[in-house]
Chains A and B, each alone.
Chain A
Amino acid sequence: MSKIKQKDFGTPASTAEQLVQLEIDGFKVTAPAGTSIMRAAASIGIDIPKLCATDSIEPFGSCRLCLVQIEGGRGMPASCTTPVAEGLKVTTQNPRLAEVRRGVMELYISDHPLDCLTCSANGDCELQDMAGAVGLREVRYNPVTTHLNATKDQSNPYFTFDPSKCIVCSRCVRACEETQGTFALTIDGRGFDSKVSPGQNQNFMDSECVSCGACVQACPTATLMESSVIEHGQPEHAIVTTCAYCGVGCSFRAEMKGEQVIRMVPDKDGQANHGHSCVKGRFAFGYATHKDRITKPMIRASIHDPWQEVSWEQAINHAASELKRIQAKYGKASIGGITSSRCTNEETYLVQKLIRAGFGNNNVDTCARVCHSPTGYGLKQTFGESSGTQDFDSVMKSDVIMVIGANPTDGHPVFGSAMKKRLRQGAKLIVVDPREIDLVKNSPHVKADYHLKLRPGTNVALINALAHVIVTENLIDEAFVQSRCDVASFNKWKTFIADPRHAPEQTETITGVAASDMRAAARLYASVNNGAIYYGLGVTEHSQGSTMVIGIANLAMATGNLGRIGVGVNPLRGQNNVQGSCDMGSFPHEYPGYRHVSDPATRDLFSTAWNVPLSLDPGLRIPNMFEAALDNSFMGLYVEGEDIAQSDPDIKHVHAALRAMECVIVQDIFLNETAKFAHVFLPGASFLEKDGTFTNAERRISPVRKVMKPLAGYQDWEVTQLLSNAMGYPMNYQHPSEIMAEIASLTPTFTGVSYEKIDELGSIQWPCNEETPTGTPIMHTEEFMRNDGKGLFMLTDYVATHERITPMYPLILTTGRILSQYNVGAQTRRTANNMWHQEDRLELHPHDAEDRGIVDGDWVGIKSRAGETVLRALITDRVQPGVVYTTFHFPESGANVITTDNSDWATNCPEYKVTAVQVTKVSQPSQWQQEYLAFSEQQLEFLEQGLSNG
């Protein structure tokens, strides 16, 4: 537990190396050049009164409370905007300063409600604190006109804007600009009429506000206040933990009253997020205590039966007995399990251990199968390690940022804000995306220098064209290639890529991107000191996903954009623990640390540690499990925290496979879509109810800390342990720290990781071992992690997807996600985030809409070779003609009814991003949707029956 308030130094830290010595109130102080006097004073415990300054934003110098006097200097400069200088002698307190400060405070309070005792900020109000600090004892003014009757804005579900309490310090406005980069707030009017205004005098919900909470965080009074604090009062203790949403892995302080979370506040010391947050992590945590949580284990004989609540012992014994029965009947390889990126490292490690050691096979897979498995493959082959190369802070040194198939402002919003900050500082931007994401031109003061608006499915043709320009125009970093890369592979690649068939002029008919733009973008990327590539699922979720990852790696190596700050190849991971779940050996062919199951030394290591013989054959991947189920050779599945019945492609096929299995065990916090096909339900714990670690997209292992008791009684690792023991494979961990100790003892890149060190350092970026005891922010600085230390170039021929447009299916459907919802929506749909996004819609270009007689809001049928569903239309030129787009956050949308079984050649990652479809105006839901609705209602009825009988 920690104190509620984090120290505020008033202004941001300076990163200058030069140190300056000065004297403040007679005390000697040493501070980096560029540090404000206010911060230097705070660093030795002298808190100069302030209101408009806070250390998350640049100083503004408007409140006039932080005035100081400097020996030999004139007047009373503001300490927030005055930098330290050698030999300065500063006085922060004297009668003259005190008088001025009291006068300023008197003016502020003359137009402020005197309702401190009933105010929601009572106990956490900087204005109140400053009134005390300056010794305000009376207010002589009695203004005729005030703002005391200003109307509250309660449009936002998570916070309230009460302008009667506003002191117009502009902290909210500046936070929205500097920290978030949305520029949704402004100070409207002048003088007495000045007021904070969202958008064009709109309320918060109608404005551009993205509800990140930066303004609430910055507000020194109760003007912008979490509605939960207004309702419940101030929290009394805080516990630092890690967000369970996207791969940014923000650090939060769960501010508590007993076991109730009052608010989640982004941790200023968070090394991934530096005190920033998004609407999901900051506010959308209410799902953890939602009424839909299931807290009792349940079993049933068939999915056509009602559920029956049972004890933990009964449920675990039944599950183990069923799994053993299936193995006895169908063979050892007839069961398996799926881990989830929503679970902790320790939990995923334990599930894969149960399967390899307890089930006796390697049939373990994870949801990374359907997102970043090509990243794992491609970067392992080329760089020798299945991970991104940089830390997030690296982007602040990039000169050119290339964003490929990612939408950081929606998918990874906190990192997106950092990226926007760097772009506002002048870095150039290349966007490679079929759709006009916000970064292209819809973010204030950010505009892409090149938007390569390619046709879905042509990534590899485009990356080859960029590489062709770099090779044929002699833009290669020869020194880097010769010293750091496998030269033979480079020479082979160079000959391959120089072939005229890869030239932009030859491939523009494939990609749909003008050759001149491809040439210019390639020159830009290769011509600057630091070129960085950030990519997402628009790269991986293709039939050539792995080829594209390799192509990106080739490009970065050829231009020497690796091994230092500001450059690199950076996969933006979708879920909070995608990196971690992969690191922990969740893939069927790899042990923890990405070591192949056929490697005798590694297998011996694990076999000895786990005291059991281990299989040398790779196991089934998720789609292979489905195939085997329909073949009656895979009949039992243990799924922890994953919702394959909604998230996986060609859903009708998935549902058929799940129906074919004899025992599906789902461990989750809700009766998710997969659980509707289950025979055993084991209630899981949310991230607030468990201890463990998550590893984010920059390989940062961060602590997850239990802030409340598990609602169902057990943390997820304990449930896995119970199941393992019932299966006859003993496990006896007392705490997740013991699991991490085992991981560290068996995994070379984790040997230096421990809970003690994570507590000490806050977080650790692996590799962390003897050579790098405090972790590795940037990888491959001296050599690559392949056996010979050299980066490997690989050949990347463009191969067109099997998915072709035809007169029957003339449009290409591609998918993505939106800021307010998260993946399958199981969490965010159970929060007020639905106010921003209540349904998935189909975006289509005005031309395609007009051709079909479709207007905005019409119900449209989307039919592919795999199936059909119905959504409402959203007409927009964000998509190009011939391309349609939707999100996939609502199960009834059936986005994956239409996606196909095409997949990446290397990893079977589904080709979600390319589906040929026809779109027509319709008047009723699709047959699948009607059937799904009936099935779902029946399953919920079975649940109700189980709960009422329990």
Chain B
Amino acid sequence: MKIERLIKMANDISDFFNADSDKEVAAEGVKMHLLRAWEPRMREAIITYAEQDGSGLSDLAKTAVSRLPH
């Protein structure tokens, strides 16, 4: 999985949920979307990236990814 593509997708998802002023709600929204829509390979890749680098992820995306179960 090309990580650049996954980073862009995660950030785009976060842009939608970021409309909510309650950032806790927003982070949960991103997390649930990743859980319900992403295939395990994709989730594993983004989790690994977030743990090793994560600089390309928006703050909201980073928070949400950190909450994904390993």
Q: What is the interface of chain A, defined by CB distance below 8 A to chain B?
A: 333, 362-363, 496, 543-544, 546-547, 588-589, 596, 598, 617-621, 624, 627-628, 630-631, 633, 795-797, 799, 802, 901, 903, 905-908
CB distance from A686 to the nearest CB of B (A): 33
- Given the known interface contacts A333-B41, A624-B39, A906-B33, the answer about A799 and B16 at a Cβ–Cβ threshold of 8 Å is yes
Determine whether the beta carbon of A620 is less than 8 Å from that of B19: no
Nearest-neighbor residue (CB-CB) of A363 within chain B: B39
| Size category of the binding interface on chain B | 20 to 34
Q: A627-B5, A631-B1, A795-B19 are in contact. Are A588 and B12 (CB under 8 A)?
A: no
Give, as a whole number of angstroms, the nearest-CB distance from A629 to chain B. 11
Instruction: State A907–B35 Cα separation when bound (angstroms).
Output: 13
Closest CB in chain B relative to A9 CB, distance in Å: 52
The residue from A363, A598, A628 contacting B1, defined by CB atoms under 8 A apart: A628
Closest 3 CB pairs of A and B: A905-B12, A795-B19, A797-B19
Query: B16 to A797, Cβ gap below 8 A?
Result: yes
**Using Cβ atoms and an 8 Å threshold, which residues of chain B touch A621?**
39
Instruction: Give complex CA distance A906, B19 in Å.
Output: 15
Which residues of the partner chain B approach A903 to less than 8 Å between Cβ atoms? 9
Interchain Cβ contacts under 8 Å between A and B, 26 examples: A333-B40, A333-B41, A363-B39, A496-B19, A546-B16, A588-B39, A589-B37, A598-B36, A617-B39, A618-B36, A619-B39, A627-B1, A627-B2, A630-B2, A633-B1, A633-B41, A795-B19, A797-B15, A903-B9, A905-B9, A905-B12, A905-B16, A906-B13, A906-B33, A906-B37, A907-B37
Told that A617-B40, A618-B38 touch, could you supply 15 new A-B pairs with CB distance under 8 A? A333-B39, A544-B16, A596-B36, A620-B41, A621-B39, A624-B1, A624-B39, A628-B1, A633-B1, A799-B15, A901-B5, A905-B9, A905-B12, A905-B13, A906-B16
Across the two chains, which residue of chain B brings its CB closest to A546? B16
Q: Specify the main secondary structure of chain B where it touches its partner.
A: helix
Q: Does B50 contact A (CB under 8 A)?
A: no
The answer to whether A589 touches B41 (Cβ under 8 A) is: no
Q: Does B8 contact A (CB under 8 A)?
A: yes
Q: Return the chain B residue nearest A620 by Cβ.
A: B39
A619, B37: Cα distance in complex, Å: 8
Let me know if A628 and B15 touch, CB within 8 A: no
Kindly state whether residue B20 has any CB partner on chain A within 8 Å: yes
Q: Residues of A contacting B16 with CB < 8 Å?
A: 544, 546-547, 797, 799, 905-906
- List the A side residues contacting B40 at CB < 8 Å: 333, 617
A589 touches B36 (CB 8 A): yes
Q: Is the pair A796, B15 in contact by a Cβ cutoff of 8 Å? A: no
Shortest C-beta distance, A384 to chain B (Å), equals 16
Taking CB atoms, residues of chain B closer than 8 Å to A362 are 39
Chain A residues contacting B18 (CB-CB under 8 Å) are 797
Residues in A neighbouring B20, C-beta threshold 8 A: 795
A908 & B39 in contact (Cβ 8 Å cutoff): no
Q: Whole-angstrom distance between the alpha carbons of A687 and B18 in the complex?
A: 46
> Which chain A residues border B68 with CB–CB below 8 Å?
none
CA distance A923 to B56 in the complex (A): 42
Query: B residues near A, CB below 8 A?
Result: 1-2, 5, 8-9, 12-13, 15-16, 18-20, 33, 35-42
In the complex, the chain B residue whose C-beta lies closest to that of A596 is: B36
Q: How far apart are the CA atoms of A746 and B38 in the complex, in Å?
A: 25
In angstroms, Cα B1 to Cα A628, docked, is 6
Please name all residues of chain B whose beta carbon is closer than 8 Å to the beta carbon of A631 when the two chains form the complex: 1-2
Q: Distance (Å) between the CB of A685 and the closest chain B CB?
A: 32
- Please give, as numbers and ranges, the residues of chain B lying within 8 Å of A796 by CB-CB distance: 19
B42's closest neighbor in chain A, by CB? Answer: A624
Output the least CB separation between B32 and chain A (Å): 11
Give the shortest distance, in Å, between B17 (CB) and chain A (any CB). Answer: 9
**A-side contacts of B15, CB under 8 Å:** 797, 799, 905
Complex contacts, B38 vs chain A, CB 8 Å: 618
Chain A residues with Cβ below 8 Å from B41 are 333, 620, 628, 633
- A905 to B14, alpha carbons, bound, how many Å? 9
Contact for B9 among A544, A547, A799, A908, CB less than 8 A: A908
| Cα distance, A802 to B9, chains bound together (Å) | 11
User: What chain A residues lie within 8 Å of B2 (beta carbons)?
Assistant: 627, 630-631
By a CB distance below 8 angstroms, the chain A residues around B36 are 589, 596, 598, 618
A547 contacts which chain B residues (CB < 8 A)? 16
- What's the minimum C-beta distance from A471 to chain B, rounded to whole angstroms? 16
Instruction: Give the distance to chain A from B64, nearest Cβ to Cβ, in Å.
Output: 13
User: Looking across the interface, which residue of chain B has its beta carbon closest to that of A901?
Assistant: B5
**Chain A residue at minimum C-beta to C-beta distance from B10:** A905
In the complex, which of the residues B33, B35, B39 has the most CB atoms of chain A within 10 Å of its own CB atom? Answer: B39
Give the chain B neighbours of A617 by CB distance below 8 A: 39-40
CA distance A621 to B2 in the complex (A): 15
Q: How far is the CA of A362 from the CA of B38 in the complex (A)?
A: 11
Complex alpha-carbon distance, A596 and B35, angstroms: 11
Chain A nearest CB from B11 CB (Å) reads: 9
A547 to B12 CA separation, bound complex (whole angstroms): 11
Cα of A908 to Cα of B7 in the assembled complex, Å: 13
For A906, the chain B residues whose CB sits under 8 A away are: 13, 16, 33, 37
Q: Which residue of chain B lies nearest to A619 when distances are taken between CB atoms in the complex?
A: B39
* Shortest distance between the CB of A499 and any CB in chain B (Å): 11
Complex: how many Å from CA A277 to CA B16? Answer: 41
**A697 vs B42: C-alpha distance in the bound complex, in angstroms?**
32
Least CB distance from B5 to A in Å reads 6
Q: CB-nearest residue of chain B relative to A590?
A: B36
The closest CB in chain B to the CB of A795 belongs to: B19
A333 to B39 Cα, complex, angstroms: 10
**CA gap between A903 and B42 in the complex, in Å:** 16
Q: Considering only CB atoms, which chain B residue lies closest to A802 in the complex?
A: B8
Query: A795–B13 Cα gap in the complex (Å)?
Result: 13
- Tell me the complex Cα distance, A326–B12, Å: 33
Cα distance A149–B42 in the bound complex, in angstroms: 73
Closest Cβ of chain A to B42, distance in Å, is: 6
Task: Please report the C-alpha to C-alpha distance between residue A796 and residue B17 in the assembled complex, in whole angstroms.
Answer: 9
- The residue on B at minimum CB distance from A630 is B2
Distance of A620 Cα from B20 Cα, bound (Å)? 28
